[in-house]
Structures are given as structure tokens and as C-alpha cells.
Amino acid sequence: MEEIIFLVEESEEGGFIAKGLGTPIFTQAETMEELRITVKDAVQCHFDEVKPRLIRLHMVREEVFAA
């Protein structure tokens, strides 16, 4: 596996949530800096010997307003 992609969303309670696409990896953190660390740790724990070379964080921000 060359890379793994995470969908990153802002949490309603504050902070960020990251969900691995195509893998059952889920993690969260208060800041983006902390999230990068927790995502990297989660990937290293999930994969044994063959780990992805790259981690891609895909940021999603939803905004709702009156029409």
C-alpha cells in the first residue's frame, strides 16, 4: 500500500475526527498537530510489517446557512 487516506472533520464537541478510508482506523484529537500524531500512531499500530509510505489527510468542512 503506497498511501492511506483519512477523512478529517471538525467534531461538534470541538477538535477533529479522522476516519481511515477503506480501513477500520478511527482517531480524534483537539488540534491538527495532535491529530497528525494520533493518526500516525494509529497507522503504525494497525499495520504490521508493510505500512503505507504516505498518510493523506482530506479535510472536510461543512457550512450551513440560510438561503
3-state secondary structure the chain: CCEEEEEEEECCCCCEEEEECCCCCEEEECCHHHHHHHHHHHHHHHCCCCCCCEEEEEEECCCCCCC
pLDDT at 67 (0 to 100): 92
pLDDT at 9 (0 to 100): 96
pLDDT at 54 (0 to 100): 97
What lies within 8 Å, CB to CB, of 61 at 6+ separation is: 9, 10
Show pLDDT as tens, one digit a residue, over the chain (67 residues): 799 999 999 998 999 999 999 999 999 999 999 999 999 999 999 998 888 999 999 998 888 899 9
Q: Which amino acid is at 65?
A: F
